[in-house]
Amino acid sequence: MEQTEKTSLNDFLKVLTKDRGLHICIHDVSGILRCDELHIDYEYTIHSQSFCEAAKSSPAGYNACIAAKTYSNNRVINTGKTFEGVCPFGLLETAVPVVIDSETKCIIYAGHYRLPDETAEKRCAYMAEKVGASEKLLKSELEKCEKLSDRSFLLEAALVVSGYIKLLYEKNKDVPVREKYHWAVFNTMKYADENFRRPCTLRDISRLCRMNEKYLGRLFSSQVGQTFHEYMNARRLDYAAKLLSSTGMKIIDVAFESGFQTVTYFNRLFAKRYGISPVAYRLGR
């Protein structure tokens, strides 16, 4: 069987994290990940493990995670230093800036391990009550996370990834980028595609991108041809139409499951787009 070299960052992350409790998340703040060899799957751009999904299952839980990520990003970029901490829900994490030409290009988060003591369980129970998430589900997912006694492993893993990113960047820095969108617009679209069912706002994303909200909104509209709000609603309506066609869910449940805050607003937007009400749409299928 012919062997082919796998040199992409995505392949590297797959090998590094395979069959381990380690999760790597790389937060791009410059567009460095846009070239082919540095492109990574969405799961490596966010905290995407099952525990994290359980933590973000309630609106307040999602907002807590976004606030923590924004704080961490700002701290790393403002200080230019690595730091270790514990996420709001109790998992260990180390953040490492990738600095090239005196500029932080991206931030590597290495983590998803439990503390060896009972701190994680206590914090998990506290946050579940605070954000209205299922304590039973969170604790069940927490039990699947490995305990880590040697915290230096997280820093070592992040530094290895940082070194590889720098090597690939140097190799590809003069290669033209094929992606037509500005990196922040592309990241915003991708984030919206994956989080439209949550209370995702342009303000949140602009903070993650470290970009002025109004500027990002104008940039998004000019390149995508829709406002961010219109784009989000389109994703939600697409999903709602699929639910109406494939499930027997109540209309109000379809609205909430698709990310709408009220069924009245959902009905109005749905009728405007499809020309008929959600009920009529379902009956017509």
pLDDT in tens, 119-146: 888 999 999 999 999 999 999 999 999 9
Both 36 and 106 in one domain: the answer is yes
Domain of 259 in residue numbering reads as 179-285
Please report whether residue 14 resides in a domain.
yes
What secondary structure letter does DSSP report for 147?
B
Residue 4 has pLDDT above 70, yes or no: no
Q: Is 257 in the same domain as 130?
A: no
Q: pLDDT per residue over 71-113, tens digit each?
A: 999 999 999 999 998 889 999 999 999 999 999 999 999 999 9
Q: Are residues 138 and 217 in the same domain?
A: no
In a domain, 4, yes or no: no
CATH number at residue 280: 1.10.10.60
Tokens 């969405």, residue? 42
Number of folded domains that form the chain? 2
Which of 177, 197, 212 marks a domain boundary?
177
* pLDDT at 268 (0 to 100): 96
Give the domain-ending residue among 177, 206, 240.
177
Say yes or no: 72 and 156 in one domain: yes
64 and 43 share a domain? Answer: yes
pTM above 0.75, yes or no: yes
Say if residue 32 is in the same domain as residue 117: yes
